[in-house]
Structure 1
């Protein structure tokens, strides 16, 4: 690489990050970054996904470029049930959070079930994927595709994309912070979706329909029940059943914001019949608790593990001395951590901190549930 090319790439990368920092939301950021990244790392199709930072599972929004509708379920079925090369869950923990299929397989992509079942049938020859992570948490995924017959992704291109992981993850994380203005919408109760052993949706309650209508747009597929099922919900159902059949305890769980800004929690688990055999998979989608919202908001503020511990202690009403005693650190150290927490959260007191992280999100919902009476 000559000096002119290296300088052009640096300028392009800096401009890409600058536009990402100015994006209005995650979907806007995906579009801005994709346009500029294509000039540095040419690709024919792409998928940009937000993820739940606590589990790494795909949520929304999702931006898909130059791929036909209807393949998302196939992609995630392969990713969750068959693939063992460059898994997103592995890249989230890897030293380098990006990899390309052909390089990883020694230019033998046929070793990959995802290549055989998804890429090759669509005329795609290589995939460069990356996890956008910060502080050990994954906030998004990128998949870049090149058509068959095109050059494979190079080591330098993989390095360039890997170098975008941290700045793009930081920007995605910032979107999880509380939005301005209260939520005045009426929240629904727990929604229930039931899937058969093949992963097909067979039943859904009215609350689930309302939650689905409120979710951000993204790749989805039609169902016989007259609703479109987001690809990430299908992936959760498939993943929960796969974990159960593999003897892994626990189902699948993700957090996602609806279009009104409310945080929702989705949980999927595989049920057993009377004889112990696996039956249907149930998925519950419901409003997140104030504690769950607070922890996500704290993550979005970039708090360290120790700062998260202290924030939770503050929420429980512990004094500075009690926090120091419980965590086996000095009072001076606790005060230093509190200063850092206030700065990151943009507050100046403990009361503001708790309001920002735990209370503000639920004030409208609480107010809507109040019933006043008087005998005077």
Structure 2
């Protein structure tokens, strides 16, 4: 009965309209009522490539070791990573289960989990909704405790609620103009082979601060920077690896795109990585915003045409549907997005995410997007 109540409470939090960090912190506390654990890390993923974009942590796991996390997640061939877990039955596994109790088979455990935090087991689960993976969660035990199959099954059963909460949280709230500022153009920084920032342009520190980081060279880098640095180094060794590029929202609510490329080194020098953080353009982020409302593929098709200004009759003709079917799709779309008309639908997507840039007084660049 406690497990069922926790599932209901997580589902309620997912529908409460919370931003994703507030939802994540509350959902982790709720989960502990049915499943005690020593520490937890909840991560958002870009559903296009399942790259970690940000985290909420609970317990003694901290932000100071994000570069180590990213190293073992993206560069080391370990027993599993988040992408592998999302493809497991139930999208869940535990370190003790994967290693048959021989935890030393995992470099992540032997070189980080055990010496830093004395963790005795890790449970990971992928958080998917409507066929897209929006996040992942890692739970930890100490003192020799391990996660049982029943506990793994329980976490798998609440994963959908977590995913819906993360997905909804990505579009909660509008841009905070005071925090976002007027835009300083792309931020560019080079992270050396020793994981130290080698150089950065004038706008880098402001962007890093917007993502929760501190003074460059003194404070830990934000999770997204750590993740794409590790992903870029893996791609340097394996060209088939996913491109290190991800979309995310900053703390001010601004949509950003982060991407990275490995630089060619000389001799035995390790891989330096150049990282770029820039404002996301409509073609990059509108599909993510629309998907965040939990629309079906056909509903997304309808929304795409509505956003382009196509009337109902032409939508029906282009999608080979009747006008009545289009209207039925629109009713379902309005219910999911929380609006009552086409006008409100367009306003919800554009006003919350783009109009603040217009009223901020920024001009347009030759590309047609806002100038820095």
TM-score by length of 2: 0.85
How far residue 198 of structure 1 moved from its aligned partner, in angstroms, is 4.6
Deviations 1:157-177 (A, max 9, x none): 001111111112112211122
CA separation of 1:125 and 1:203: change in aligned 2, threshold 3 A = same
The reply to whether residue 365 of structure 1 matches residue 357 of structure 2 is: yes
The reply to whether residue 291 of structure 1 matches residue 274 of structure 2 is: no
How far residue 313 of structure 1 moved from its aligned partner, in angstroms, is 2.1
Q: Determine the C-alpha separation between the residues in 1 that align with 2:350 and 2:62.
A: 41
The reply to whether residue 252 of structure 1 matches residue 244 of structure 2 is: yes
The reply to whether residue 183 of structure 1 matches residue 172 of structure 2 is: no
Q: Which moved more, 1:243-252 or 1:107-116?
A: 243-252
CA separation of 1:63 and 1:250: change in aligned 2, threshold 3 A = closer
Q: Determine the C-alpha separation between the residues in 2 that align with 1:336 and 1:352.
A: 17
What is the match of residue 88 of structure 2?
94
The reply to whether residue 239 of structure 1 matches residue 235 of structure 2 is: no
What is the match of residue 370 of structure 2?
none
How far residue 19 of structure 1 moved from its aligned partner, in angstroms, is 5.1
Structure 2 residue runs without a partner (length 5+)? 365-372
Q: Determine the C-alpha separation between the residues in 2 that align with 1:216 and 1:133.
A: 26
Q: Determine the C-alpha separation between the residues in 2 that align with 1:273 and 1:239.
A: 17
What secondary structure sits across from 2:294 in the alignment? coil
What is the match of residue 312 of structure 1?
304
Contact 2:75 2:233 in 1 (8 A): no
Of 190, 210, 213, the residue aligned with 1:214 is 210
The reply to whether residue 344 of structure 1 matches residue 336 of structure 2 is: yes
CA separation of 1:128 and 1:324: change in aligned 2, threshold 3 A = same
What secondary structure sits across from 1:164 in the alignment? helix
Contact 2:133 2:163 in 1 (8 A): yes
Of 58, 72, 94, the residue aligned with 1:78 is 72
Aligned residues: 359
Of 14, 26, 31, the residue aligned with 1:32 is 26
CA separation of 1:178 and 1:188: change in aligned 2, threshold 3 A = farther
Of 96, 105, 114, the residue aligned with 1:111 is 105
What is the match of residue 4 of structure 1?
none
Of 234, 253, 269, the residue aligned with 1:261 is 253
CA separation of 1:9 and 1:361: change in aligned 2, threshold 3 A = closer
The reply to whether residue 202 of structure 1 matches residue 198 of structure 2 is: yes
Deviations 1:1-39 (A, max 9, x none): xxxxxx333234434544565584333333323333223
- Counting only pairs closer than 5 Å after superposition, residues 272-291 of structure 1 correspond to structure 2 as 272=264, 280-291=272-283
What secondary structure sits across from 1:283 in the alignment? strand
What is the match of residue 155 of structure 1?
149
What is the match of residue 136 of structure 2?
141
Contact 1:294 1:358 in 2 (8 A): no
Contact 1:295 1:357 in 2 (8 A): no
The reply to whether residue 333 of structure 1 matches residue 325 of structure 2 is: yes
Structure 1 residue runs without a partner (length 5+)? 1-6, 372-376
